[in-house]
Structure 1
Amino acid sequence: MRMTFRWYGEGNDTVTPAQIRQIPGVEGLVWSLHDMPAGEDWPEERIQRTVKQIRDAGFHPEVVESVNVHEDIKLGLPTRERYIENYKRTIEKLGRAGVKVICYNFMPVFDWMRTDLFKELEDGSTALFFEKSKIDGVDPFELVKLISGDRSLTMPGWEPERLARLEELFEAYKGVTEEDLWRNLEYFLQEIIPVAERSGIRMAIHPDDPPWSVFGLPRIITSQANLRRFLKLHDSPANGITLCSGSLGANPENDIAAMAREFAGRIPFTHIRNVRVYDNGDFIETSHRTQDGSVDIAGVVQALHETGFDGYCRPDHGRHLWGEQCRPGYGLYDRALGIMYLWGVWDSLGRRKLQGEVSA
């Protein structure tokens, strides 16, 4: 398991690389050009400048999250060809820069959805929260205004240019079914995976967050069966999954450890976090510790360990602790605590395996 930490870039993150270096075992920064609109061709000079900055800070730049997919591709419009060509060129440039994994998603309109960015937990910390009753039957435009957050920092999936098109996008998705989305995703994969193969990059789709329809929009990367179907769309090592325990774990029917075992070898990247799911469908993000949420995080890590996982991992969203002012879900302290919990489980599994081999 190769530990990484998401970093939003100088001037766009409250956490610095110098602080991240003090977290044991972190070797890479997960990055992106967050100001690039979806569908644009990333400039090589900017890619190389960012990669140098990351390397100079003592990290590798091998994971990019995300190269956003333009809505015209998801909708299957004739204009998608232009955006797919831009995507291919960006993959090639990232390959030349030493990138090994690109995390992306295929969620219509919203990359993620919460109803409260700073819901207070029992211990006084705050966390991202999803309240089902605020989604069902509510005006999405009003909700977006309510939780659009601190605009001094970019919030991936909530970029200003995307929010400005909400009404247009909702109109465009009227009548678009899940099967339409599957067809458009398959077309996209057929175009980009051969480029990724040549560039030495593994594409890793991120599950939908949450893993069900929001505001009537279709969502398809939601379950073990759908991940199985996804991998069959283009059977290549370059077509993989970002296994996100938090996104998938919001649905109690999803067995993340079983997914880790079934899809071993097709998971180049993992996001590990915990969520507490309530009987009414609400959920809140918690510490990474297994007993604090509804996801068996220790069991997920064990499944990865047993299947020889050697890909990239990062602690996903954390709580906001000790009065830290940060981007929602992306402070320093709880993610650092999460890393140490993950290392503790991983190291104990390694020790147990070694002792078993010695005893044998």
Structure 2
Amino acid sequence: MEMSFRWYGKDDPVTLDKIQQIPGMLGIVSAIYDIPVGDVWPFEKIVELRQSIENHGLKLNVIESVPVHEDIKMGLDSRDQWIENYKETLRNLSKAGIKTVCYNFMPVFDWTRSQLDAPLADGSHSLLYEDEKIKGLNPLSGELALPGWDLSYQKDDLRKIIDRYQIISEQQLMDNLIYFLEEVVPVAEEEDIMLAIHPDDPPWPIFGLPRVITNKTNVEYMLNAVDSPNNGITFCTGSYGANPDNDLLDIIEAAKGRIHFVHARNVKWTGDLSFQETAHLSRDGSLDIVDVLQKLNEVGFTGPIRPDHGRMIWGEEGRPGYGLYDRALGATYLNGIIETLDKAEEA
């Protein structure tokens, strides 16, 4: 497996100089963040990003993410033009040597939490999701704005989009995803790009919006509907694992050969549809990370993996979930498991 690290570009307080010092670090997961959703990514800007990373002895091995325009998700007549733009971006990424693209199909909002600095017993703090608090929030009020959310919408536009989703069922949203994949996967095949859809986070509907990449059944449906090795998933332990009903090993088995990218993090279930993120170790959360990596190894996964959503420790301040210290500890922990699995195979 190829140990990798999320980097948010030149404005990220976690610099490439620091990331390259993490033992065993090979790849950088990044994106271009100043291009409006749906616009074509210029080849020159992709090369500039890649070069800045290679100058630090690392490689740009995953783009996370190329956002999908809401018109595509809603199935509007205008979606075809946005899909054509997406295809052109894939071509430019391939030309620049990028072969793995992570994306998601979550309506309006990306990953969602109710608190960004919830305390843990050891004095650190982390991301928390409390279902009752989320149910009591109005996403139009501005009281909750999270990293990863597209905040470019005007309130009236956002209200119209949310209202439109009220008449879109989960099956319709899945149909819109399949329409999108039927269009872009042939380009991915031509360009040798692995598309890796990220699960919905959390893996259930929020704010009255449908969500469809949530469990084994939906993953199998999506993979079978567009049956191509280039149509795959990002296996995120924390997203799928937030729901105790999801068997992570079963999902890996169902998607074997189609897992192109892995996010590894742990969560502790704290109540019905509620959880808090923890240190990566199996004993610190509700997920057995050793079992997960062993299963990934068993099905032959050798692609990029990154430690995801670390705690804030040792007084560090920064982007919630994306500090340096705990993610670096997570990478070292994951590398220890991976090396042990590799040694066992050699014995």
TM-score (norm 2): 0.97
Farther-moved stretch of structure 1 (197-206 vs 128-137): 128-137
After superposition, residues 1-360 of structure 1 pair within 5 angstroms as 1-11=1-11, 13-142=12-141, 145-148=142-145, 155-156=147-148, 158-162=149-153, 164=155, 165-355=157-347
- Distance, in Å, in 2 between the alignment partners of 1:45 and 1:320 is 35
Conserved? CA contact 2:114–2:129, under 8 Å: yes
Partner-residue secondary structure (3-state), 1:265: coil
- Which deviates further from its counterpart, 202-211 or 27-36? 27-36
Partner amino acid, structure 2, of 1:51 = R
Q: Any unmatched runs of 5+ in structure 2?
A: none
3-state SS of the aligned residue for 2:87?
helix
Q: Deviations over 1:182-203 (max 9, x none)?
A: 1111110011000111111000
1:352 deviates by 2.5
**How far apart in 2 are the matches of 1:93 and 1:18?**
27
Question: Matches of 1:354 and 1:200 in 2, distance apart?
Answer: 31
Deviation at residue 138 of structure 1 after TM alignment: 3.2
CA distance in structure 1 between the aligned counterparts of 2:137 and 2:145, rounded to whole angstroms: 16
1:171 CA drift (Å): 1.5
- Deviation at 1:163? 6.4
CA contact (8 A) 1:8 1:31 kept: yes
Distance 2:154 2:102 in 1: 22
Question: CA separation in 1, counterparts of 2:86 and 2:137?
Answer: 34
Secondary structure, counterpart of 1:82 in structure 2: helix
What secondary structure is seen at the aligned counterpart in 2 of 1:4? strand
Query: Post-superposition shift, 1:147?
Result: 3.3
How many Å separate the matches in 2 of 1:127 and 1:162? 28
User: Is the Cα–Cα contact under 8 Å of residues 290 and 297 in structure 1 kept in the other structure?
Assistant: yes
Q: Percent identity?
A: 49
RMSD of aligned residue pairs (Cα, Å) = 1.2
Instruction: Mark the CA change 1:163 to 1:222 in structure 2 (over 3 Å): closer, same or farther.
Output: farther
Alignment-mate amino acid for residue 176 of structure 1: I
CA–CA distance in 2 between the matches of 1:14 and 1:138? 30
Partners of 2:346 and 2:53 lie apart in 1 by 35
Q: CA deviation at 1:170?
A: 0.8
Which moved further from structure 2: 257-266 or 210-219? 257-266
Contact 2:109 2:150 in 1 (8 A): no
Deviation at 1:279, TM superposition (A): 2.7
C-alpha distance in 2 between matches for 1:194 and 1:27: 29
Against the structure 1 CA distance between its residues 198 and 127, is the aligned structure 2 distance closer, same or farther, given a 3 Å change threshold?
A: same
Q: Measure, in 2, the Cα distance between the counterparts of 1:146 and 1:290.
A: 34
Task: Encode CA deviations 1:218-243: one digit per residue, 9 max, x unaligned.
Answer: 10100011111110121001000000
- Return the alpha-carbon distance in structure 2 between the equivalents of residues 173 and 105 of structure 1: 17
Any idea what SS the aligned residue of 1:10 has?
coil
Separation of aligned partners in 2, 1:36 and 1:255: 37
Give the counterpart letter for 1:314 in structure 2.
R
| Deviation of 1:135 (Å) | 1.7
